[in-house]
């Protein structure tokens, strides 16, 4: 195992080496994000980008691929032809069969000595060990090197541990960046400031002042070309184990002693370890699995999951999950956390909803639409924070109706807002680990999720059908109704 990165690494030129450079994630996300970082002078001087793939392309052929597949994903308002040409000048392409140790000599010849090497593994996790082993054998890994691992990191606890062990043979923990792009979103990072930088929320951010927490990540898209992968994964592994649990951690964590990466991640780990384990009875009562059937999204007809290409006719893979979780600690005693995610839902949205407790007694009657105080943190498609208050309904009476104090972050903050991948790639280059998962975090998340997967198998639980373009199975509304609560859009 190598030693921790040295502080001198921050001053080194960078070779960003992207395995899977000709893949979909690279084309749509990584290469446009690096362009934006280049455009705004956030890449170190003398940065080079080496893309690695199996196709027998020349450099010119790869640049033509970028023009066709990556340039359309660059914000048209930010595109500058001269800056794009300068950006293309940073690139080289190396053909490698990742299983062939001798092929890595080409990468040795392409990479410069004495630079900070960042290896981005945008490949199947099954290849992580082979790639790291061959990089080390070729002498490309040193104390300053960094490796970025894309999800999914395993399909269960054992496979996640195996990946961590194998990669850890070649890179020390501070050199490993397990990326979750949700942690790069501006509003997610702003949640830390909202919680720990504002005195108004501190005393109220706990039971009994908070009644419940909802976390929703809804997608209108189906599985598309990912069906082959998705059918072996499902929504719980694909979204809950990483994205939703990370959002839960930031909402529920105790104040860290500082913004030091390990101080923050220590508190997130405590939340994951405090999640109440689910028994089979809990799983039957508190989880809902769904699978979309044919319907309409945005006014356009769409086919059901079982009709998607490369999906078996008898598939029981869930495309929707809703569940109720509890955190066994003093701050969150008896506060339910409702998590929900799905494909082919009515609209694309990611939001966190904090429902504050009702007053123990009120002398003022409420109107039919008065639901108390609620903080709504919207992550996408727009980023905003709304605080729902109660105000008097106009007229001679004294009934209350909800009104919103709305902070539109895009209007309030006029400066440019970097996209998640851009921000996280810059963090990797600058050696900032705060917004990346640590090994023990990853394994704690799997330790909580895996019994749910096993419980579904034991129960023989088949996913409930829901029509594409809705908000999922009716059972997810019933999950809330048992607590005399509703999902935010049902109010």
Structure tokens at 66: 């970028």
- CB count, 10 Å around CB of 267? 17
Measure Cα distances from 375 to 2, 30, 322, 439 in Å.
45, 33, 20, 32
Measure Cα distances from 41 to 83, 87, 140, 265, 282 in Å.
11, 11, 27, 29, 51
- DSSP result, 277-342: PPPHHHHHHHEEEEEEESEEETTEEE--GGGSTT--TT----SEEEEEE-B-SSTTTT--EEEEEE
53 and 21 in contact (C-beta within 8 Å)?
A: yes
* C-alpha closest to that of 359 among 380, 336, 390: 390
Cα–Cα distance, 425 to 430 (Å, whole number): 9
Measure Cα distances from 392 to 369, 399, 403 in Å.
12, 6, 9
* Orientation angle between helical segments 245-252 and 261-274, nearest 10 degrees: 100
440 and 269 in contact (C-beta within 8 Å)?
A: yes
- CB count, 10 Å around CB of 446? 24
The pairs formed by 355-358 with CB atoms below 8 angstroms and a separation of 24 or more are 355/210, 355/211, 355/212, 355/213, 355/214, 355/485, 356/204, 356/209, 356/210, 356/211, 357/208, 357/209, 357/210, 357/211, 358/211
Cα–Cα distance, 473 to 389 (Å, whole number): 30
Structure tokens at 246: 């990370």
Residue 243 annotated to the active site = yes
Q: Which helix (H) or strand (E) holds 377?
A: strand 374-380
94 and 61 in contact (C-beta within 8 Å)?
A: no
Structure tokens at 174: 């501070």
**Preceding peptide of 467 cis, ω within 30°:** no
- Strand boundaries in 157-307, DSSP class E: 176-178, 210-218, 287-293, 295-297, 300-302
Lateral strand order in the sheet of 320-325: 400-408, 384-392, 374-380, 349-356, 210-218, 337-342, 320-325, 287-293, 464-467
Q: Which of 38, 181, 243, 435 is catalytic?
A: 243
Say which DSSP state 174 is in. G
Three-state SS at 153 = coil
CA angle 333-236-269, nearest 5°? 45
The catalytic residues are 243
């Amino acid at each position: 195992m190598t030693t921790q990165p040295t502080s001198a690494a921050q001053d080194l030129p960078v070779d960003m080496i992207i395995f899977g450079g000709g893949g979909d994630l690279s084309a749509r996300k990584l290469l446009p994000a690096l362009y934006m970082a280049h455009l705004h002078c956030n890449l170190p001087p003398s940065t080079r980008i080496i893309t690695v793939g199996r196709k027998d392309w020349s450099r010119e052929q790869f640049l033509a691929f970028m023009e066709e597949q990556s340039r359309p994903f660059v914000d048209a308002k930010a595109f500058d032809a001269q800056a794009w040409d300068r950006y293309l000048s940073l690139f080289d392409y190396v053909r490698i069969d990742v299983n062939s140790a001798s092929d890595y000599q080409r990468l040795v010849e392409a990479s410069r000595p004495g630079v900070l090497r960042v290896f981005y593994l945008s490949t199947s996790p099954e290849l992580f060990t082979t790639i790291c082993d061959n990089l080390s054998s070729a002498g490309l890994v040193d104390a300053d090197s960094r490796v970025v691992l894309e999800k999914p990191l395993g399909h269960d606890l054992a496979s996640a541990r195996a990946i961590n062990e194998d990669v850890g043979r070649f890179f020390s923990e501070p050199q490993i960046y397990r990326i979750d792009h949700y942690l790069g979103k501006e509003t997610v990072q702003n949640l830390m400031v909202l919680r720990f930088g504002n005195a108004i929320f501190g005393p109220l951010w706990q039971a009994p002042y908070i009644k419940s927490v909802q976390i929703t990540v809804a997608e209108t898209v189906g599985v598309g070309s990912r069906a082959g992968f998705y059918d072996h994964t499902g929504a719980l592994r694909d979204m809950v184990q990483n994205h939703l649990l990370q959002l839960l951690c930031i909402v529920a964590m105790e104040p860290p002693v500082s913004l030091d990466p390990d101080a923050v991640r220590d508190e997130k780990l405590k939340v994951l370890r405090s999640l109440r384990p689910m028994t089979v009875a809990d799983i039957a009562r508190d989880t809902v699995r769904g699978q979309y059937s044919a319907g309409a999204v945005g006014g356009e007809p769409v086919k059901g999951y079982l009709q998607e290409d490369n999906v078996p006719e008898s598939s029981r893979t869930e495309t929707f999950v809703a569940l109720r979780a509890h955190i066994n600690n003093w701050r969150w005693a008896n506060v339910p956390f409702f998590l929900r995610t799905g494909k082919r839902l009515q609209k694309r949205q990611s939001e966190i909803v904090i429902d504050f407790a009702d007053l123990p007694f009120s002398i003022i009657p409420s109107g039919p639409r008065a639901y108390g105080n609620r903080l709504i943190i919207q992550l996408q498609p727009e980023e905003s924070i709304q605080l729902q208050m109660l105000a008097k309904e106009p007229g001679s009476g004294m009934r209350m109706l909800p009104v919103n104090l709305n902070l539109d972050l895009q209007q309030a903050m006029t400066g440019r807002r970097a996209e998640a991948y851009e921000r996280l790639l810059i963090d990797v280059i600058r050696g900032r680990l705060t917004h990346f998962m640590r090994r023990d975090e990853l394994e704690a998340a799997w330790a909580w999720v895996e019994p749910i997967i096993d419980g579904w198998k034991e129960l023989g639980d088949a996913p409930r059908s829901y029509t594409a373009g809705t908000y999922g199975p009716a059972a997810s509304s019933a999950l809330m109704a048992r607590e005399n609560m509703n999902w935010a859009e049902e109010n």
